[in-house]
Structure 1
Amino acid sequence: MNSIGLMLYEAATLLKREFERSAKPHRLTLMQWRVLASLAERDGVTQTDLMADLRTGAMTISDVVERLEQVGLVTREVDASDNRAKRVCITAKGSALRAEMRVLAEQVYARTLEGIDPEERAVTERVLTRIAENLQDRKAPKKEMKT
């Protein structure tokens, strides 16, 4: 029996694998690409903003940004209005790689959607958006304490 949850998981896993296989020469993971792409749209955001934009956890963002900083693709600067926060900025090297990777990402995307007509794509996008909206901001059920 195929559940939609399992099918979504398998499709996401395969898409990630395909992207990372294609990006291997650049030593870039899908999450690292997502950070660079996000910064290209909105540079100088805080790590907290990135976490929200990419719907991921604080540790994941911290680790990814640290790795990108180590290889010179981003910098982190203390926020002038809140010295506890760090703003993440894409470097010239990061911008150049992002531009190159955008072409690669578009190729992966095109392969992913091969044979799917525009009407099917539109329906799929609407359904996936609705699923995400249904699940967004839901809290896990509280566990009952055993007595």
Structure 2
Amino acid sequence: MTDNNSNKALRLDNQLCFALYSTSLAMNKLYKPLLSKLDLTYPQYLILLLLWERDGVTITEISHKLFQEKGALSPVIKRLEQRGLITRKRNTDDERQLHLYLTEQGRQLEQSACDVPEQVFCATQLEPNEALALKQTLESLRAQLQDKPNR
């Protein structure tokens, strides 16, 4: 057993990754009851946010925007389709491209979801400038990490 003070770099509370991980868990816990009222999971909500922003995006575009592999998105998309919130359509010019479109039910759900971002923001108790600075810092960190080759 090592001396507790010998390597402070290995203390859990000193890990940036743990701060990010535990904050992500807390955010998911915050979103869960808000999204359960809409009968949505967080990944489903993210896909719908993209479609509410721009209907007809491809699965490849969604994969890039959400930083997820297409295979991980397939069951989420399938569930949204089964619920009648979206439809999939192949591009007539390029059969490899699969576009997602909101159904009328999916468009109507947007109205019910309008208060979710506000409720989440209020729960953080951050000032608007603090929230913006934090978001920008996290986006910068993500970009830096994505540019690093796997070792």
TM-score with structure 2 setting the length: 0.83
Identity %: 29
Would you say 1:39 and 2:51 are equivalent positions?
yes
Q: Which runs of 5+ in 1 are unaligned?
A: 142-147
Map of 2:100 onto structure 1? 88
Would you say 1:129 and 2:139 are equivalent positions?
yes
* Structure number, greater radius of gyration: 2
Map of 1:18 onto structure 2? 30
Segment of structure 1 superposing worse, 38-47 or 103-112: 103-112
Q: Which runs of 5+ in 2 are unaligned?
A: 1-12
Q: Name the structure, 1 or 2, with higher relative contact order (CA <8 Å, separation 6+).
A: 1
- Find the residue that maps to 1:37 and give its secondary structure: helix
2: CA distance, partners of 1:72 / 1:35: 14
Match of 2:120 among 108, 111, 119: 108
TM-score with structure 1 setting the length: 0.85
2: CA distance, partners of 1:121 / 1:25: 25
Map of 1:72 onto structure 2? 84
Higher strand share: 1
After TM superposition, give the deviation of residue 125 of structure 1 in Å: 2.6
Aligned alpha-carbon RMSD (Å): 1.6
Assess if the C-alpha contact under 8 Å between 2:86 and 2:101 holds in 1.
yes
- Find the residue that maps to 1:75 and give its secondary structure: strand
